[in-house]
Amino acid sequence: MAGAVVPAIRIQREDFDVAAEIACLTKGRADIGAVVTFSGLCRDEQGALSALELEHYPGMAEAEIGRIAAEAVERWPLQGLTVIHRHGKIAPGENIVLVVAASSHRQAAFEAANFLMDYLKSRAPFWKKEHRADGSEGGWVEAKEADDQAADRWKKHSD
Partner 1 sequence: MSTKLIYFAWVRERIGKPEEDVDLPSGIETVADLLRWLKSRGEEYENALQYPDVIRVAINQEHVGHREKIAGAREIALFPPMTGG
Least distance to partner 1, CB of residue 145, Å: 10
Among 37, 39, 50, 122, the residue binding partner 1 under the rule CB under 8 A is: 122
Q: Report the distance separating Cα 66 and Cα 9, nearest Å.
A: 7
Segment contacting partner 1 by CB under 8 A, of 15-23, 56-64, 69-77, 107-115: 56-64
Among 22, 36, 69, 97, the residue binding partner 1 under the rule CB under 8 A is: 97
- Sign of the CA dihedral running 77, 110, 115, 152: negative
Least distance to partner 1, CB of residue 33, Å: 27
Q: State the maximum Cα–Cα separation within the chain, in Å, rounded to a whole number.
A: 54
56 forms part of the interface with partner 1 (CB under 8 A): yes
Q: Which residues contact 128 (CB under 8 A, 6 or more apart)?
A: 52, 53, 54, 140, 141
Segment contacting partner 1 by CB under 8 A, of 2-10, 13-21, 54-62, 103-111: 54-62
Helix (H) or strand (E) holding 75: helix 60-75
Least distance to partner 1, CB of residue 150, Å: 10
Q: Report the distance separating Cα 105 and Cα 133, nearest Å.
A: 44
Tell me how crowded residue 107 is: count the other CB atoms within 10 A of its CB. Answer: 13
Shorter beta-carbon distance to partner 1: residue 77 or 125: 125
Under the rule (CB under 8 A), what is the footprint of partner 1?
40, 54-57, 59-60, 63-64, 85, 96-97, 117, 120-129, 140-143, 147
